[in-house]
Structure 1
């Protein structure tokens, strides 16, 4: 097996930066009691101004007057790690995570699908940058070995246990996956590198530290299996943005909407699924949450298309009250089946197929404003069609005689000389059940001007005729 370790050393900061319209602006995360708040993490521009972890927040603000500060949010950092797992599931069926800052995926079985490792690595890094995740990436035959290499030098890749052992020998003790107490005790013995730990007698390590440390060393080098629970994607998606101030207009929701839709699509691609319906959730100060539904005609996972549909719904519907938090919830995740395309696509690049156009019109005008006409099982011409949103699953037997392409809104008397009857009669006798009873004999006729008409008269009669439609 070959494991790729994706180390996310600043995932709490990345979670905060993903929610900022300008991620390059100086930003720091702070924690601690209100009187003694200290900086936990800071982005590059804040660090360039002298802001660093452990610094009192007041000193950081004095060094960087434009510094924006947010509270350290461990729950949000954990949700970002879950999103990274959902994304990694796209590339491997074996994805694991720890409770700190690492996602592992088994890539040995995926190389045949995604190409050799340098190409595969570029795919992973491009996606991670798109998700806004600062990362270090390394590959090794064991999960813990890959994590140590990722912490040591980004981009390292070793393929067998002999190479892994040589690479681990040179690592300092600080990069080992030991508990802090174990690391301090080994340092007190004069141990500085992993090579020295490997050289210590196992019996002595077991007496001093218990069986856990030797077992950890065996998992690190591949001498013992490292069994970890694999990630299983959930059957729903839910994410939210919380605002410092109330949002009163839909324009203030567009940036979080784009980020939420992007996260939804990353989740869907990971589980190889789509979404046909999801909810925009608005949380208010003094009233229950409200929702708007966004729907598509078919299962989708294209972020641009889903964002456009959601944006049209935002523009059409009014926000019922000022918004303190904004979320997206998708509980119906049907399989995704890509639309069929010709080998040589003849449509212009910007053209949309009918399902996409229909979904866009419905998002703009409302569900009831866009419809299709479908055959209905009623012999009366006035009732033979119904408005429907989709024609799927509707199959009716064709009528015994042809029907005109132009049906008049209401029948009118046929003027002029008697027409030539070409086909018929077709008797329609129905409607007794709803009070609109008809008894008619229909004919295909040619008028004196040569037009083909659809006419009827009373049942059993040969006139006078009423005109009900024209044939093309």
Structure 2
């Protein structure tokens, strides 16, 4: 398992509590917990999703920087990662867990903090020295929680966490370190809340079209100023991008005048909706960055020749090998045909030409005797398709079957309806 520990900044212009940081962390993994005023997250299952450990570490570090001087570290368990974060150390590959931790001071483990003075008088100033003390004596002199925490830190006892549950609604507060007199200056604190909102939206797999930033006036305000005010921001499209939301909020705050100094912020999300699915096409038809696909195909057709750059189009034909035509890619396409859909199952792969099968005892064979599962599906068409000059005709009369081969799996085969019927393999089911 691989863990990341994040220590929130508790001082500065916009101190963030662990709850806000935990909401932000939900965009990386659902396994987020609050431990000892810090946030830990188990990211083993997220490494591949985010492109590996290095890429994920970069994204976490970059995002955590928005919250101020947030210290973070990685480790094989949550307490180890937290101990390294408290002391500003980094995990070193190739070293054992004991080698990583033994040299750390006692303040790296929160359970040892109440006993630092007593342990110091005994000459015990590091985690390694504490681990080497007789366990029976430590248990008698100090509370049992110290040994349990030490065992969890060194991986000798399993950890148990209460994972953060994603709230149904987003309603987060932030107390500013000092009073703010101008509305644009509220954006610095609001950015932290927007980052937490982005994590919540990602965990809920939704976006928003509106949110409201509330602010509370200082207690020493005049009575005419009121308790506070708010501004509601609406978006034209569903989004969860904190950068875009921050830009919109900045525009609203730039036109707002505060009636009194502000010391407390509150962000509430409205109108949450599922995000529309993004196209996963390898070559999208429309491009927002760069050249659209149709223009690219036009240039390729000019360079390589119109007959070398083609695209498939559907035809209204019941014969499987005639259902698709390949036309020049730069040719304008009309409306797709609206013929009847095939009445039976269709294979994922068709052979360029049907393969005649061996028949023994009136049973077709391909990697063994075929077991006919489903059929027949009769196809009879193409009597009009003739080329007298070449002596060719496209008349087709077949009975298709779904069959199972002992070695090749599920196949699509047909039997001709001629005077001397024969069996052919035409496709494979994935």
Q: If the length of structure 2 is used for normalisation, what is the TM-score?
A: 0.55
Q: String of CA shifts for 1:49-79, please: whole Å, max 9, x gaps.
A: xxxxxxxxxxxxxxxxxxxxxxxxxxxx4x4
Instruction: Please state if 1:189 is matched with 2:130.
Output: no
1:345 maps to which residue? Answer: 286
Partner residue of 2:162 out of 219, 226, 229:
229
- For the structure 1 residues 320 and 86, does the alpha-carbon distance in structure 2 shift closer, same or farther, using more than 3 Å as the test? closer
Q: Distance in 1 between matches of 2:44 and 2:174?
A: 35
Partner residue of 1:109 out of 35, 41, 45:
45
- For the structure 1 residues 187 and 291, does the alpha-carbon distance in structure 2 shift closer, same or farther, using more than 3 Å as the test? closer
Partner residue of 2:262 out of 324, 344, 348:
324
Q: Displacement, 1:121?
A: 1.4
Q: String of CA shifts for 1:307-353, please: whole Å, max 9, x gaps.
A: 4444555567x65845635745324362441464572534578xxxx
Q: Distance in 2 between matches of 1:313 and 1:193?
A: 53
- For the structure 1 residues 326 and 277, does the alpha-carbon distance in structure 2 shift closer, same or farther, using more than 3 Å as the test? farther
Instruction: Please state if 1:148 is matched with 2:83.
Output: yes
Q: Distance in 2 between matches of 1:210 and 1:131?
A: 36
Q: Distance in 1 between matches of 2:166 and 2:36?
A: 17
SS of 1:103 mapped into structure 2: strand
Q: String of CA shifts for 1:232-290, please: whole Å, max 9, x gaps.
A: 2332133356563644xx55655555565455335433543322222233545422544
1:12 maps to which residue? Answer: 10
SS of 1:170 mapped into structure 2: coil
- For the structure 1 residues 124 and 304, does the alpha-carbon distance in structure 2 shift closer, same or farther, using more than 3 Å as the test? closer
- For the structure 1 residues 213 and 112, does the alpha-carbon distance in structure 2 shift closer, same or farther, using more than 3 Å as the test? same
Partner residue of 2:132 out of 196, 199, 211:
199
Instruction: Please state if 1:81 is matched with 2:18.
Output: yes
- For the structure 1 residues 99 and 216, does the alpha-carbon distance in structure 2 shift closer, same or farther, using more than 3 Å as the test? closer
Q: Distance in 2 between matches of 1:112 and 1:312?
A: 38
Report how many residues are paired. 279
Q: Distance in 2 between matches of 1:245 and 1:348?
A: 40
Q: Displacement, 1:299?
A: 2.8
Does the aligned pair in 2 maintain the 1:90–1:272 contact within 8 Å?
no
Q: How does 1:24-173 map to 2 (within 5 A)?
A: 77=15, 79-100=16-37, 102-140=38-76, 142-157=77-92, 163-173=96-106
Does the aligned pair in 1 maintain the 2:198–2:241 contact within 8 Å?
yes
SS of 1:278 mapped into structure 2: strand
Q: String of CA shifts for 1:108-143, please: whole Å, max 9, x gaps.
A: 222222233222212211111233333131312x22
SS of 1:179 mapped into structure 2: helix
Does the aligned pair in 2 maintain the 1:152–1:171 contact within 8 Å?
yes
Q: String of CA shifts for 1:419-440, please: whole Å, max 9, x gaps.
A: xxxxxxxxxxxxxxxxxxxxxx
Partner residue of 2:239 out of 300, 307, 310:
300
SS of 1:222 mapped into structure 2: coil
Q: If the length of structure 1 is used for normalisation, what is the TM-score?
A: 0.51
Does the aligned pair in 1 maintain the 2:194–2:242 contact within 8 Å?
yes
Q: Distance in 1 between matches of 2:6 and 2:35?
A: 11
- For the structure 1 residues 206 and 245, does the alpha-carbon distance in structure 2 shift closer, same or farther, using more than 3 Å as the test? closer
- For the structure 1 residues 214 and 89, does the alpha-carbon distance in structure 2 shift closer, same or farther, using more than 3 Å as the test? same
Does the aligned pair in 2 maintain the 1:6–1:138 contact within 8 Å?
no
Q: Distance in 2 between matches of 1:259 and 1:7?
A: 15
Does the aligned pair in 2 maintain the 1:282–1:289 contact within 8 Å?
yes
Q: Distance in 2 between matches of 1:253 and 1:203?
A: 55
Does the aligned pair in 1 maintain the 2:171–2:267 contact within 8 Å?
yes
Does the aligned pair in 1 maintain the 2:106–2:112 contact within 8 Å?
no
- For the structure 1 residues 180 and 281, does the alpha-carbon distance in structure 2 shift closer, same or farther, using more than 3 Å as the test? closer
Instruction: Please state if 1:334 is matched with 2:272.
Output: yes
Q: How does 1:409-448 map to 2 (within 5 A)?
A: none
Q: Distance in 2 between matches of 1:224 and 1:149?
A: 19
Q: Distance in 2 between matches of 1:292 and 1:115?
A: 38
Partner residue of 2:201 out of 252, 261, 268:
268
Partner residue of 2:173 out of 224, 239, 247:
239
Does the aligned pair in 2 maintain the 1:261–1:306 contact within 8 Å?
yes
Q: Distance in 2 between matches of 1:252 and 1:181?
A: 40
Does the aligned pair in 1 maintain the 2:180–2:263 contact within 8 Å?
no
Unaligned 5+ residue runs, structure 2? 291-430
